[in-house]
Structure 1
Amino acid sequence: MTAQCQTMGQALSQTAARDRRSATSESPSIFAWLRQAHSEIRSQIEQWMLDRKIARTRLSIQNLPEHIRQDIGWPAIDDRLPMTRPSQPTRANTLRNG
């Protein structure tokens, strides 16, 4: 009877160890999926924030008086703002001569 209890206990511990190994082997794929989902969501949020910033800037420029917009050359710059990310350095406005 004691031998049977010992073998059943060993079998149960081996089964539990095997289950733990299979659970840990799946977890790296879950973490990789979570990292990928997090990076995609983060990039979408960054793009949304950039779009909002461009829209707010465009709206504030359009709300300026006509003579100020002509002074800064707003109609001459093709009514578009450069699509740069905040991490990239901005370049000086070379379109305006004077």
Structure 2
Amino acid sequence: MTHSFGLSRLVWSETGDRLYSFEQAAYFTQTSVPLIEKCVALGIIEPEGTMLHRQDLVRIVRVLRLRRDLGLNLAGAAMVLDMATEIAQLKAQLRALRQ
């Protein structure tokens, strides 16, 4: 994939959220464009066209932290994040049912 957005260009979604090019995402997450592309190919993040949302950048950083700290591969780290999100949602539902 080739992306022509420079690091300084600001792009906004229709809902007013800032969007980031793959180059910007690589810069802000201190990684590389090929790694961002691999995350997209594995379904770890889902771009809007060729742009990413802030939460995608946060997810990349969390995946990289799990990869570094626990030695997980990208898919394994993404699975851990998904399970942690699901557990948090289930705990919230349980709290709501108890009230």
For normalisation by structure 2, the TM-score amounts to 0.27
Rg: which structure is higher? Answer: 1
| Structure with greater proportional helix content | 1
| Structure with greater proportional strand content | 2
For normalisation by structure 1, the TM-score amounts to 0.28
